[in-house]
Chain A
Amino acid sequence: MSGPSTYQPKSALGRWFEARLPIGGLVHSSFVAYPTPRNLNYWWTFGAILSFMLGAQIVTGIVLAMHYTPHVDYAFNSVETIMRDVNWGWFMRYAHANGASMFFIAVYIHMFRGLYYGSYKAPREVLWILGVIIYLLMMATGFMGYVLPWGQMSFWGAKVITNLFSAIPLVGNSVTTWLWGGYAVDNPTLNRFYSLHYLLPFMIAGVVVLHVWALHVVGQNNPDGIDVKNVEKDTVAFTPYATIKDSFAVVVFLIFYAWFVFFTPNYLGEPDNYIQANPLATPAHIVPEWYYLPFYAILRAIPDKLIGVCALFGAIIVLAFLPWLDTSRVRSGKYRPIFKVCFWLFVLSCLGLGWLGAQEPSGGYVIAARLLALYYFGFFLVLLPILGLVETPRTPPASIAEAVLRGKTATIDQH
């Protein structure tokens, strides 16, 4: 959508620089003149919130890395030193630990938004898949970060998750030995996880650039899921309209984030992680961080190791195929009466699986997890392909301008 830039810097120095490195024009066409659909709602602000959170994690992470020691004998104590002795250390650590949770809350909202409004459909398939890659990298980053404080949950979480790879036929045990750099999770494991935990956020930043690039090539989707037909009538400039709306949403989100950091910083954590790692004692009840719980519930719902591990990874990989699994020609769920119901049931099944992932894996909980896991996969593999063929969607408005003005008498202001 962003054509050749017509940007002209005002100062002579600006023009001199622009002739040598046209970065001003790039920023101007991407974040100032860039046309955004005028019907976007607040669910579209989570991209900006996510960008902010990535920045916050990198800044607080670099600060923590100045005081953290990646060694099995010192890691736990170095985190306690950060909490007690380092100036503002408690703040940096709580901001980083809760920041990871906020990052995941935002990414889940962002993904459900895409799911509801059909943002993965043509021509946004590549954009969507880049998003799935970012999500996978986030999961890997969060997992390795959680190992660093070397508490009981760090250690046993690392052990259980790396052991997922032991399910690979024939080479499974060689793979886990290679991942650990030893015969069990130990110092070499902690060291490499630290190295990778530092690296992956920057890889995420790289993929985010591609994600935004792909977005700016095909343009944003919108709540009505219809294409921009008339740039004048259907869109408004990114600045000031989207800039202000995004900034406002970031501030509201920050208040929510700050509330956790300052008032209940350990609410989303596990008390067991304040006990130093002990390779000879498994805690009575192992739970991963909340953002992995739905997948953990799927793993535990299946009584066979290999199939369980395949289901866990399959539950994530299936997202990448979504653009081709959904056969409906109408993008937005707003105009799809049956899809809408299935979608909300899907949201409930994810929340239900998340809750079950934290319960004891026995009796009725396992049966409930099986039913919900069945719905999870059924939604993608059965409902979405079939719904597109049998459902009669409502007719979306002819244009974005019409969608915005429906029920209003005012005419479009030609700003």
Chain B
Amino acid sequence: MANTATMDEPTRRDMLFIATGAFAAIGAASIAWPLINQMNPDASTIAAGVPVDVDLGGIKEGQIVTVKWRGNPIFVRYRSQKEIDEAVNVDVAKLPDPQADADRVKKAQWLVLIGVCTHLGCIPQGHDGPFDGWLCHCHGSVYDTSGRIRQGPAPYNLAVPPTAFSADGKKLTIG
């Protein structure tokens, strides 16, 4: 009888309790993961995120062209010499998110950025704000002509997507 067993002597019920508990815990964990992971991007969403090509021929100096990649706007900006100089001639160490312009572009005149404000995701307005770069009207983040954060609540520079230029330099592949 159970109540005659001494406390320190394991019973069959103790054994069943541990075995059942362990089984249930592992089972719960292995069910939880599919339930959580199903919300991550599905195969078709990932497949639709393939690279896109941009013809650079039609873009004029000073112009910003917006293309869509993975549901987000991508800015392709043909920078003027003045804009390049503004981006290069800064004391990088003093920036909120320090990064040299050279590390953000493959060719100095072509600046390619993911056009999503790193604060809360609005699309910043080009050729706007005190640094000639972008101004986000949602909460006032200011980016320079390298897409680096200069003022406002955004913590990071505008992200740089993976890019590749064609051999003749007329076509840009984003992604």
A→B interface (CB under 8 Å): 156, 159-160, 162-164, 166, 177-186, 188, 192, 279-282, 284-286, 300, 302-306, 308, 361-362
Residues 15-46 of B contacting A (Cβ, < 8 Å): 36, 39-42, 45
**B123, B140, B153 — which one has the most chain A CB atoms within 10 A of its CB?**
B153
Residues 134-172 of B contacting A (Cβ, < 8 Å): 137-140, 152-155
Using CB atoms, name the residue of chain B closest to A186.
B71
- In the complex, what's the smallest C-beta–C-beta distance from A8 to chain B, in angstroms? 43
- Indicate the size class of the contact surface on chain B: 20 to 34
The CA of A285 and the CA of B139, in the complex, are separated in Å by 10
The answer to whether A304 and B71 touch across the interface, beta carbons within 8 angstroms, is no
Q: Which residues of A contact B39 (CB under 8 A)?
A: 178-179, 181, 192
- In the complex, what's the smallest C-beta–C-beta distance from A167 to chain B, in angstroms? 8
- In the complex, what's the smallest C-beta–C-beta distance from B152 to chain A, in angstroms? 7
**B39, B40, B70, B120 — which one has the most chain A CB atoms within 10 A of its CB?**
B120
| Contacting residue for A183 out of B36, B49, B120, B155, CB 8 A | B49
| Contacting residue for A160 out of B49, B122, B152, CB 8 A | B122
Q: Which residues of A contact B121 (CB under 8 A)?
A: 159-160, 162-163, 166
Using CB atoms, name the residue of chain B closest to A179.
B39
The CA of A171 and the CA of B78, in the complex, are separated in Å by 34
The CA of A343 and the CA of B123, in the complex, are separated in Å by 40
Q: Is B68 an interface residue (CB 8 A)?
A: yes
- 19 A-B pairs besides A178-B40, A182-B70 with CB distance below 8 A are A160-B121, A160-B122, A162-B121, A164-B120, A166-B121, A178-B39, A179-B39, A180-B41, A181-B41, A181-B42, A184-B70, A185-B71, A186-B71, A279-B71, A280-B66, A300-B139, A304-B155, A305-B120, A306-B155
**B40, B42, B116 — which one has the most chain A CB atoms within 10 A of its CB?**
B40
Q: Is B72 an interface residue (CB 8 A)?
A: yes
Q: Which residues of B contact A280 (CB under 8 A)?
A: 66, 68, 73, 123
Using CB atoms, name the residue of chain A closest to B40.
A178
Q: Which residues of A contact B118 (CB under 8 A)?
A: 305
The answer to whether B68 and A279 touch across the interface, beta carbons within 8 angstroms, is yes
Q: Is B127 an interface residue (CB 8 A)?
A: no
Using CB atoms, name the residue of chain B closest to A176.
B121
Using CB atoms, name the residue of chain A closest to B156.
A305
Given A156-B122, A280-B73, A308-B153, CB of A181 within 8 Å of CB of B139: no
Q: Which residues of B contact A361 (CB under 8 A)?
A: 139-140
Given A183-B41, A183-B70, CB of A163 within 8 Å of CB of B155: no
Q: Which residues of B contact A164 (CB under 8 A)?
A: 120
